[in-house]
Amino acid sequence: AQKRTPLIAGNWKMNLNHQEAVVLVQKLAWVLQDKKHDFDKAEVTVVPPFTDLRSVQTIVDGDRMKIRYGAQDVSVHDAGAYTGEISASMLAKLGCSYVVVGHSERREYHGEDDALVATKALKTLQAGMTPIVCVGEGLEVRKAGAHVTHCTEQVEGSLAGLSPDQVASSVIAYEPVWAIGTGEVATPEDAQEVCLALREQVAKTWSSQAAERVRILYGGSVKAASAPAIMAQPDVDGALVGGASLQADEFAAICRFY
Ligand code: PEP
């Protein structure tokens, strides 16, 4: 993980209004500053709901801290009659660095498939932002021992059509569905097994340079206590954090690993 700049991303999901978002980001900035966090050593990004992005932007812009921010989803369309959708260019204009695409909750509750996720990843890249492309197996697949195949196929499909350079500058998040929001975290060995397999798949399908450069995160019930052993794995380049990212101290403690 040393060759790549680690990334710790906090997915707030559908929590916090714009005022609460301000409080959380201010506190996070304060704690990271207090701990003298080195942002060149480990990138930190928050991923609030769309309605909080502007508030987060005003705090982060005015701060010496280099906290980045991103969105939880993006439209596959560029503009037009798509009520309720948010385009990649709108997010880029707001200063977003990242967009989470293909989160398991969107795959499960909104029927998103790999092809749609790949289009969203492409739109994100074309707008100058970095997609965080999520993959991960459910419990049945894990029990059947088919998790590696499941995840490598998801990466193939969810990054389909991207060039080696585009894959290299993307982020992949391995998030086993059975670990998301359940308190059940994968072992460091489980995380490493799949992250390594995903990197090897990138080498096979795109290029070995893309595999060297692409950052692969683990996500699923990461807490300050479990983060260090997982993030110390050679093919794990950081974490995508849900629940624990809503607490500034806990999230900052995860960020402080590096
Ligand atoms: C997530 O939803 O991306 C996630 C990892 O959630 P949690 O940390 O709450 O399991």
Domain boundary assignment for the chain: 7-255
Write down the number of H helices and E strands in the chain: 12, 8
Give CA–CA dist 25/46, Å, rounded.
8
H helical segments located in 13-146 = 18-34, 53-61, 88-93, 104-109, 114-126, 139-143
Fold type of domain 7-255 = TIM Barrel (3.20.20)
Whether residue 112 has its Cβ less than 6 Å from ligand 1: no
Give the distance (Å) from ligand 1 centre to CA of residue 238.
13
Enter the DSSP assignment of 70. E
- In tens, the pLDDT along 160-214 reads 999 999 999 999 999 999 999 999 889 999 999 999 999 999 999 999 999 999 9
Which of 137, 175, 193, 250 is catalytic? The answer is 175
For the segment 127-168, what is each residue's pLDDT rounded down to a tens digit? 999 999 999 999 999 999 999 999 999 999 999 999 999 999
pTM metric for this prediction: 0.97
CA distance 142 to 13: 25
